């Protein structure tokens, strides 16, 4: 463990880091501390439960979804280096500052159905270069390969920040006494092989045959072609599932299914799939839809959905090969 603070780390010239990008990341981290404090109060603050309306995705918003979204919008739209914002919770993008160098996209509270049962939730963010002095919605339509930084804050037993600026993945842990993010793990690596998988098995009847084949092999364990037993884990919060993979490898699947053939997948390309793909790839893992590399997809709309198969490289490649 290092005593390096997030601020000190961001002063280094790693990857895509510039002083301006560092300022944006610091603002996101500071805002996430505020979200963390609201979460810590939980029922005491009267912030649990439904907000009584749906977001643009047609999902019931929790009070803390709305609060977290407001915190991030308020902090970033006045930031001199931010040209525009996009949130999973809002229909359209939010204009910010003229000549801002970066666009920020975020899922303010991933896994918010976990809030009311006191389980882990998180904030996911993606940072893209701004294309114009005044941001237009078309400026957000950049493939994941264009991201200059990505990360998440996990609100769990300890509050952690996972970050990549294109030079590997690092973990910071929030010191509850000093309220400072301290570097706790450098050069996070996802091993190519694993014996853990995560998938929402309740959708099994809707899966395509390649996914059924793959999961059947894992469930058969030593008695199948895999010749080893697997464990299933499912947090119902992408931040929690990806954090587990970054800590001890694994594969996470939210594949295309036939329940609603008009929806390509459940997870959002811009707010979830791209930032998580950047983190996993920077740690040596892989991320595909089952057919194409996620970070090479050219977005066509702000709230585009995609299937996600992500994690240990050999497992992701195996499922992907079944699709072809």
Structure tokens at 148: 């200059």
Residue 209: which residues within 8 A CB-CB, separation 6 or more? none
181 and 201 together in one domain: no
**Domain membership flag for residue 1:** no
**Which residues span the domain enclosing 291?**
196-322
> What does DSSP say about strands 159-164 and 149-155: parallel, antiparallel, or unpaired?
antiparallel
The residue among 187, 221, 256 that closes a domain is: 187
Confidence label for 299 from pLDDT (cuts 50, 70 and 90) = very high
Which residues participate in the annotated binding site for substrate?
A: 110-113, 200
Q: How far is CA 177 from CA 138, 181, 182, 194, in A?
A: 43, 11, 12, 36
What is the mean pLDDT of the segment spanning 147-171? 97
Which residues participate in the annotated binding site for Mg(2+)?
A: 88, 107, 109-110, 272
Q: What is the CATH number of the domain that holds 261?
A: 3.40.190.80
- CA-wise closest residue to 133 among 106, 166, 103: 103
Q: What is the pLDDT of residues 218-255, one digit of tens each?
A: 999 999 999 999 999 999 999 999 999 999 999 999 99
Indicate whether 44 pLDDT > 80: no
Which residues participate in the annotated binding site?
A: 88, 107, 109-113, 200, 272
Indicate whether 116 pLDDT > 90: no
- CA-wise closest residue to 201 among 172, 176, 236, 155: 236
Average pLDDT of the chain to the nearest whole number? 93
210 and 299 together in one domain: yes
- The pTM score is 0.95
Alpha-carbon distance 47 to 249, whole Å?
34
Q: What is the CATH number of the domain that holds 48?
A: 3.30.540.10
Is 28 within 8 Å of 72 (Cβ atoms)?
yes
């Amino acid at each position: 463990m290092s005593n390096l603070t997030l601020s000190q780390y961001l002063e280094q010239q790693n990857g895509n880091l510039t002083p301006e990008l560092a300022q944006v990341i610091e603002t996101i981290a500071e805002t996430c501390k505020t979200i963390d404090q609201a979460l810590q109060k939980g029922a005491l603050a009267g912030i649990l439960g439904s907000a009584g309306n749906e977001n643009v995705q047609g999902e019931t918003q929790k009070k803390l979804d709305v609060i977290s979204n407001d915190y991030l919008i308020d902090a970033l739209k006045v930031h001199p280096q931010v040209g525009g914002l996009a949130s999973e919770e809002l229909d359209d993008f939010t204009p910010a500052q003229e000549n801002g160098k970066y666009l920020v996209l975020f899922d303010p509270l991933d896994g918010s159905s976990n809030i009311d049962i006191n389980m882990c939730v998180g904030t996911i963010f993606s940072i893209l270069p701004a294309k114009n002095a005044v941001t237009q919605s078309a400026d957000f339509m950049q493939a994941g390969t264009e991201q200059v930084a990505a990360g998440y804050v996990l609100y769990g037993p300890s509050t952690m920040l996972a970050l990549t600026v294109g030079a590997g993945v690092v973990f910071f842990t929030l010191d509850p006494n000093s309220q400072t993010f301290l570097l706790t793990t450098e050069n996070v690596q996802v091993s190519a092989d694993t014996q853990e998988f995560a998938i929402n098995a309740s959708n099994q009847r809707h899966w395509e045959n390649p996914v059924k084949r793959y999961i059947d092999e894992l469930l058969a364990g030593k008695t199948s072609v895999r010749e080893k037993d697997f464990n299933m884990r499912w947090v119902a919060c992408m931040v929690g599932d990806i954090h587990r993979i970054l800590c001890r490898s694994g594969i996470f699947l939210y594949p295309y299914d036939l329940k609603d053939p008009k929806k390509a997948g459940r997870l959002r390309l811009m707010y979830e799939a791209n930032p998580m793909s950047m983190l996993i790839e920077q740690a040596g893992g892989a991320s595909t839809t089952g057919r194409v590399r996620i970070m090479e997809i050219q977005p066509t709309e702000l709230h585009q959905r995609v299937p996600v198969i992500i994690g240990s490289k050999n497992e992701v490649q195996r499922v992907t090969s079944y699709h072809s």
